[in-house]
Amino acid sequence: MRIAWAAFVLLLAAFPALAQNVKITPIGSHPGELCANDRAIVFEDPTGVRFLYDAAHNVTGGNDPRLGAIHLVLLSHMHGDHVGDLKLKAPGEGTCANSARVPAPNSTTAEVVAEKNAVLVTTRAMAGFVHNKVGAVRGSGNKPMDFCSSLAVTVPVPAACSSRIDLGGVFKAQAEGAQQGVEFTIVYSEHVNDVAPSLLSKARQDLLKADGAQLGYGPPVGFVVKFTNGLVAYLSSDTAVFGDMKMVISDFHKANLAVINLGPNPGLFQSGAYAINDLLKPASVIFTHVNEVATEGGKLRANTQTAALMKQVKPPAHLAISERTMEFDGKGKCVSGC
Ligand SMILES: [Zn+2]
Ligand SMILES: [Zn+2]
């Protein structure tokens, strides 16, 4: 036994990268591709802490077998394609441009939080919405979901709860027996935060419609996640280029991996090269939320907006290919699966 253990320790010393990588697995609509509606990504820290970043339209429900253990669910904002007003019918169904989806009246975010008894990491304003929806998933007679009792938890938590932090707030999640935890900081995203109308009550929908109004839930957000191996990932969510990318995310948090949402609405196809090369300056980039069919047979399609941006970006840029696991070391370098 002792010899086996010594051999194991020697092996770890010889291949530290194997033991200390963060695993990043996009969960999209079509296995092996980066498709128009893809947003959801599962992250796994070397200590075993696992979280889902935006359930989106990409899961088939809280019990989607591709999720595995999920200790935390991050929610960036209330647009239907993030909080999840629709769920995926099945991986591979529909086209890569328009995946087959069905309504999710309680949101895919609430479905996953309820199914996994997970910690919801988001602002307090958005947490209130999800608390109610988790209640609706579980039905009456169950204890209402509430904020976690502290800003540092051991996962898995005994009952679903939310982070009770706002912009700039830090929440920590540690695996049982681990020496260190994973740190989540909420950062700003230069976007809007209107809720998908279909997730509201009929009465509220009618009122809003009468005034041509949208209902906002406070600021939309991105995240900075500090993993135990030293990787610092910036999860941009939907955002325009903005000064915090340099002053807060790069200079202060020293993010070495940027996971960037593209798509036409926030303009990053035009400003993305400046945002990445001059403001964020990460060691690597991952692109998702492309709102176009970015790949075919797993390969980047020429004549796409994604391909045009990839050419302008200085650090190595990787595509969030569904169900392909990438591994990153503490310095932000992809060491496997890219
Ligand atoms: Zn959005
Ligand atoms: Zn979006």
Residues flanking ion ligand 1, Cβ below 5 Å? 79, 238
Backbone φ, ψ for residue 203 (5° rounding): -60, -45
Neighbours of 36 (CB within 10 A): 20
Q: What pLDDT score was predicted for residue 12?
A: 53
Distance CA 48, CA 335 (A): 18
Distance CA 199, CA 20 (A): 40
Instruction: Determine the distance separating the centroid of ligand 1 and the alpha carbon of 146, expressed in angstroms.
Output: 26
Q: What pLDDT score was predicted for residue 338?
A: 95
**pLDDT one-digit tens code per residue, 297-336:** 999 999 999 999 999 999 999 999 999 999 999 999 999 9
Instruction: Determine the distance separating the centroid of ligand 1 and the alpha carbon of 331, expressed in angstroms.
Output: 29
Instruction: Determine the distance separating the centroid of ligand 2 and the alpha carbon of 289, expressed in angstroms.
Output: 7
Listed as ranges, residues in the chain with pLDDT below 70 are: 1-19
pTM of the predicted structure, to 2 decimals: 0.94
Instruction: Determine the distance separating the centroid of ligand 1 and the alpha carbon of 58, expressed in angstroms.
Output: 15
Backbone φ, ψ for residue 263 (5° rounding): 95, 155
Q: What pLDDT score was predicted for residue 3?
A: 57
Q: For CA atoms 283, 287, 288, 289, give the dihedral sign.
A: positive
Instruction: Determine the distance separating the centroid of ligand 1 and the alpha carbon of 191, expressed in angstroms.
Output: 7
Q: What pLDDT score was predicted for residue 17?
A: 45
Q: How far is CA 67 from the centre of its chain?
A: 13
Q: What pLDDT score was predicted for residue 141?
A: 86
Neighbours of 10 (CB within 10 A): 10
